[in-house]
């Protein structure tokens, strides 16, 4: 596992821990979403720090 993947797993675990005691359905759904899609969620902080590419969908959002 790469350092990037480790950092992303830590961030997901922290987010889930933050909402673990919350009884709201939205918080539960958010945690389920993170678990289900964690392999697809991009670590933007890593890409910005490494200056790998431009991040954002501003060009697409400006069309809408």
Three-state SS string across the chain, please?
Answer: CCHHHHHHHHHHHHHHHHHCCCCCHHHHHHHHHHHHHCCCCCCHHHHHHHCCCCCCCHHHHHHC
Q: How far apart are CA 16 and CA 32, in angstroms?
A: 9
The model's pLDDT over 17-50, given as tens digits with 9 standing for 90+, comes to 999 889 999 999 999 998 898 877 777 777 777 7
Which comes out higher in pLDDT, residue 54 or 41?
41
Residue 56: which pLDDT band, with cuts at 50, 70 and 90?
low
- pTM of the predicted protein model: 0.60
């Amino acid at each position: 596992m790469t350092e990037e993947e480790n950092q992303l797993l830590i961030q997901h675990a922290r987010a889930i821990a933050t909402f673990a005691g919350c009884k709201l359905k939205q918080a539960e759904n958010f945690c389920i979403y993170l678990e289900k899609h964690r392999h697809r969620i991009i670590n933007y902080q890593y890409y910005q720090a490494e200056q790998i590419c431009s991040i954002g969908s501003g060009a697409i959002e400006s069309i809408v």
